Amino acid sequence: MKMIYKRSSDQVIEYDLKTDPPDAKFWTTYKLKKRDIVLVDKFDNTETSIIKDEILNDIVESENPQEVETGFAWNNKVRR
């Protein structure tokens, strides 16, 4: 399934999620990784890394804004 990400510069980037296993992209418990994001268009290595960071941050923020602000989700508990 192809997805799009619109950067702040109004540039539209197509990407896909390639998780292992493939169904993991639908799981709420799967922690998405930068390597799971595959860009359709080709960019140099530096730009690819920046774009993947932006996409990953956008996905994580939209799923759980609290996790982005504090570094962990509300439902995580510290075990001692």
Q: Model pTM?
A: 0.75
What tens digit of pLDDT does each residue of 20-68 get?
A: 999 998 888 899 999 999 999 999 999 999 999 999 999 988 877 665 5
Q: Is the pLDDT of residue 80 over 50?
A: no
The token duo for 29 is: 């418990």
Give the pLDDT confidence score for residue 78 in this predicted structure: 43
DSSP characters over 43-68: --HHHHHHHHHHHHHHHHHHH-HHHH
Tell me if 56 sits within 8 A of 31, measured CB to CB. Answer: no
